[in-house]
Amino acid sequence: MIDPTSAGISNGIDVQGLVKKLVAAEGDPVKMRLDRKEAVIQTQLSSLGTFKSALADFQSSTTKLRDADTLQSVKASSSDDDVLAVTAKPGAQQGKFNIEVKQLAQAQRLASDAYDSDTLSIGTGTLTFQFGSVDPKTKAFTPDGSQLPHRITVDQNNSNLKGVQRLINKADFGVQASIINDGVGHRLVLTSKLTGENRAIRIKVDDDDGKNADVFGLSSLAYDPAGTLNKGNNLSVTAEAQNAHLIIDGIKVESPTNNVSQVIDGVSLNVKQLTKGKPVEVETAFDRAGVTESIKGFVTAYNALLKNIDDLTSYDPKSGKAGPLSGDASIRGVASQIRRLLGTDFSNVNEKYTSLSGIGIDTDRDGHLSLNEGQLQKAVDDKLDEVLHMFSRYGNTSDPLTQFTGASDKSKSGRYSLVVNAKPTHGYYRAALPIKFPITIDDKNNSFQLVVDGTKTGPLRLKNGSYNNAEELVNQIQLQLNADANLVQKKLAVTVAEDNGQLVFESNSFGSHSRVDVTSASPLLLLSMGLINGKGEAGKNIQASMGGRQAQGSGWKVRGDGDAAGIEVNVLGGNKGARGDVVFSRGVAEQLYKLIDSYLSSKGILDTRFDGYNKRIEDINSQREKLQRRLATSKQRYIKQYTALDEMVGKMKSTGKYLAGQLANLPGAAKK
């Protein structure tokens, strides 16, 4: 038998050629059908990628429009940038301001006497640095309670100028030390790292030689502005600690720094020089042209997206030609939802402009947007806030003493009336008994502790001595509270007062979290001040309604409920009663951004379509593999069949030859 794998032309039959043609006849039509099917799917897949890219481009055009703060960019200009430069944040106050610079903020600088060497010992002990302010007349130093003292220990290893310089700079507490050789000798120069009159420096010295104010040993570095020259006032002031002084539209303004950012809302003034009688004109104004350009870009991007959708999903009944995604319902669904959002009605938040057509954006017969630029610019100039309502996630309030601070994803667009029913109150502690004067304070009864808004103070140690009236006692307690590190760190404060002979401690915060408790005190101090360990009275939150529904209050903050759920407003003061409207809007740019984001997300509809197309390609590849296996089996079968036929033909030929020979040998056979 002939080996099928080596079958060929042996007895007149081309087995290999015949098998190849039979396998091709069986497999080629299927292969061509699968190839055509895959080509269509690949085109659809590529087209879907094109659509996704176009959708992302359109989303980018909504990014600036959806953010009201970014959209409300403010242009700021100064008539003399060399004297005063100006910058403005989005939403900054608009106006023209006349500004005079009378004094620049300055950091204090102190210099020591000249030393023959910066490596010879000047003494040992401790240096205590304090920050505060100096009375320009009396030179009395008042410590700033929010800035803690810092102590430097100078030992034999650091007892020269270089050692003191190294210790101060390493401690990094707000003073920069340097050494200058002025030709007379080496001087230690100490500079506050921050400007402002509240950053003046006082240096107390505990000199190991026992004399803390003379000009010998470490006490040569002592500095108290109220001290006597060379007796505690041993350093020279080469630069005073001072604030910047400005006059803005006739109003005197002070700032501890030359970057004045707390005076005009959203505007930063960088003061560089004195105006010297020539005021600087500063102007801030909304960049309305920028708003218009952003909206024009949005219209252009939308039309580009629509053209992309038309190209991909179109069908021409005359030619029978169809776009690659003409049958994809998901693409038509995306386009339909985008068109629907463009028709959003804004009558619930706007009074004049209630639709995009009102500001010059209309839809033509083909669904594309047309823009009347003049009409749009008029709307931007006339009612910028209403234009913002139509595009951005935007909230504002009509009462100047209320401030919109945010909304949640559950908040619905609308106009909500705000009514304040009760103002918030401070938490406080009132002494149980009147103060018993005179009060003598010593080391046995000089301390007590409070808990303010949940934060425990350190031990509040009153200055030893005799207190004969409420003013002396209240001032001393207030001083200790103002300097408490725990309260300073948490930005908490307490106001102390005397009322009808009783001490009252009132938290400066508002609401239910506001409270002052007395936790511990010397028994004698408790008795003399009328205090009892215990909890004070908690403050109360604001009570208000928003949109006719009771709102949640926290201090001065109001959070709406119902349709206004998640809308937050900060009440800045004012009276009880109606406080105007709170307006919140989800403009079309905000809505479109969120909608498109859901389409482009990893679990969005487009990724689902990509997965569907890829699975169909995988299925085609699977069919190809099955076809290859089937054709391989058919090939083996054909080879076996036609090889057997070839063998049969060979045998028949052999038999024919044999019979022919036999017949030729028969008697009477014809002879050639």
pLDDT by residue (tens digit) across 196-216?
A: 999 999 999 999 999 999 999
Q: Is residue 598 part of a domain?
A: no
Its pTM stands at 0.68
Return the pLDDT at 606: 87
Strands 109-111, 577-586: pairing is unpaired
225: nearest Cα among 149, 148, 131:
131
Closest CA to 609 of 333, 330, 336: 330
Domains held by the chain: number: 5
pLDDT in the model for residue 11: 65
Specify whether 101 is located in the same domain as 248: yes
Q: Beta strands of 482-596 (E only): which ranges?
A: 494-499, 502-510, 516-521, 543-546, 549-550, 552-554, 557-559, 568-571, 577-586
Domain boundary among 209, 239, 269: 239
Other beta carbons within 10 angstroms of residue 271's beta carbon come to 23
* Same domain, yes or no: 113 and 225: yes
* Mean pLDDT of the chain, nearest integer: 91
Please tell me whether residues 231 and 121 are part of one structural domain.
yes
pLDDT at 366: 84
- 235 in the same domain as 182: yes
Q: Give domain status of residue 551, yes or no.
A: no
Evaluate whether 358 touches 380 at the Cβ level (below 8 Å): no
Q: How far is residue 466 from each of residues 196, 203, 442, 470, 546, measured CA to CA in Å?
A: 35, 28, 9, 12, 54
Looking at the domain assignment, is residue 222 inside a domain?
A: yes
d(CA 338, CA 303): 12
Place of tokens 């060979």: 650
Residues 463 and 525 in one domain: yes
C-alpha separations of 443 from 463, 465, 586 in Å: 9, 10, 64
Q: Which amino acid is at 153?
A: T
Range of the domain at 303: 288-394
CB atoms inside a 10 Å sphere around CB 123 = 19
Q: Tell whether 584 is covered by a domain.
A: no
CA dihedral 23, 25, 28, 30 (to 10 degrees): -100
Residue 139 lies in a domain: yes
Strand pairing of 549-550 and 543-546? Answer: antiparallel
> Do 177 and 135 lie in a common domain?
yes
- Copy the structure tokens of residue 27: 């497999």
Cα–Cα dist 300/116, whole Å: 77
Do 115 and 175 belong together in one domain? yes
**Structure token digits, residue 381:** 């100039």
Check if the beta carbon of residue 541 is closer than 8 Å to that of residue 553.
yes
- Would you tell me how many other CB atoms lie within 10 Å of the CB of residue 499? 10
Nearest to 496 by CA among 457, 542, 444, 443: 457
Q: How far apart are CA 12 and CA 228, in angstroms?
A: 132
Q: Alpha-carbon distance 529 to 508, whole Å?
A: 22
Question: What tokens were used for 436?
Answer: 């018993």
Give the model's pLDDT for residue 257.
Answer: 96
The position carrying tokens 């300097």 is 483
pLDDT of residue 667: 79
Quickly count: other Cβ atoms within 10 Å of residue 100's Cβ: 20
Residues 115 and 190 in one domain: yes
Q: Report residues of the chain scoring pLDDT below 50.
A: 1-8
Residue 435 belongs to what H/E stretch? none
Q: What is the pLDDT of residues 19-45, one digit of tens each?
A: 888 888 888 898 999 989 988 889 889
Judge whether 160 and 121 are in contact, CB under 8 Å: yes
Q: Does the residue 573 lie in any domain?
A: no
CA 495/CA 474 separation, integer angstroms: 9
Alpha-carbon distance of 490 to 150, in angstroms, equals 20
Q: Are residues 300 and 363 in the same domain?
A: yes
Same domain, 217 and 272: no
Is the domain of 432 the same as that of 490?
yes
Q: How many CA atoms lie within 13 A of 388 on its CB side?
A: 22
pLDDT at 84: 96
Phi, psi (degrees; rounded to nearest 5) at 90: -55, 135
pLDDT of 73 reads 84
Final residue of a domain: which of 493, 513, 529?
529
Return d(Cα 79, Cα 486) in angstroms, integer. 45
Looking at the fold, whether 121 and 228 belong to one and the same domain comes out as yes
Are 427 and 515 within 8 A, CB to CB? yes
**For residue 4, what pLDDT is reported?**
46
* 671 in a structural domain: no
Report yes or no on 355 lying in a domain. Answer: yes
Tell me what pLDDT residue 523 has.
Answer: 83
Of 488, 508, 529, which closes a domain?
Answer: 529
